[in-house]
Amino acid sequence: MFPLNDAGVISGLVCGVLFGFVLENAGFGSPAKLTAQFQLRDWSVFKVMFTAIVVAAFGLYGLKFAGLLQSDAVFVPTSLLMASAVGGALVGAGFAVGGYCPGTSVVGLFSGRLDALVFLIGLLLGTVVFAGLYGPAVEAVMGMWELDSGDTMTDAFGIPELAMLAILAAALVAVFYAGSWFERRSAGPVTAEQAVNGAARTVDQ
């Protein structure tokens, strides 16, 4: 058994604090860093998050292969494509406009950013409004396009786990390659003055 495996709220709190610590140290508490991702100027957010997804996927597979984790021990939410599309569009819009997502807004607040507080208040108000409006009509729309065949790529489309891991690894390489290409294009050519200033800073250090 893993530490805090059955600790419930305590386990979630510890994981949340560690996750927030990593986000802040990666610079993701800054809205400027986050909006730069949508402008394709800085791919740090996508690179870090996608790397975490791939590492988690390989880690879960390794734990199952070693017999340390049962296949049904990890909760996988029901795949509701309409709910995912609507929710993703709304969160993405808020992310692009405000420069925060729910997690980074909390990180920004504890870093002393007042704009993160405004964003977090709006997030909570939006959640309350959605909960108040939620009824049979909304539930019917959110329940559209459910994948009855399964809730993972392996179950839904019959893709073997090892093949899915290979696809994720290839996609990760593509993300880093594409991200670096966009970042170089956004930076533009280095001028002679920038090169001199960079060399001067290196000498001073």
The C-alpha atoms of residue 83 and residue 11 are separated, in whole angstroms, by: 28
pLDDT of residue 7: 59
| pLDDT < 50 stretches in the chain | 1, 190, 194-196, 199-200, 202-203, 205
Res 203: pLDDT: 45
Give me the pLDDT at residue 205, please.
47
Residue 164's pLDDT is: 93
Cβ(146)–Cβ(80) below 8 Å: yes
pLDDT at 150: 73
Cβ of 177: how many Cβ atoms within 10 Å? 10
Cα dist. 123→88, 91, 117, 187 in Å?
14, 10, 10, 33
Q: What pLDDT, on a 0 to 100 scale, did the predictor assign at position 48?
A: 87
Could you tell me the sign of the dihedral formed by the alpha carbons of 176, 181, 182, 186, in that order?
positive
Instruction: Supply the pLDDT for residue 141.
Output: 86
What pLDDT, on a 0 to 100 scale, did the predictor assign at position 171? 95
pLDDT at 20: 84
Buried b (16+ CB within 10 A) or exposed e, 138-169: eeeebeeeeeeeebebeeeeeeeeeebbeebe
Asked if 46 contacts 179 with a C-beta cutoff of 8 angstroms, the reply is yes
* CA terminus-to-terminus distance, the chain: 48
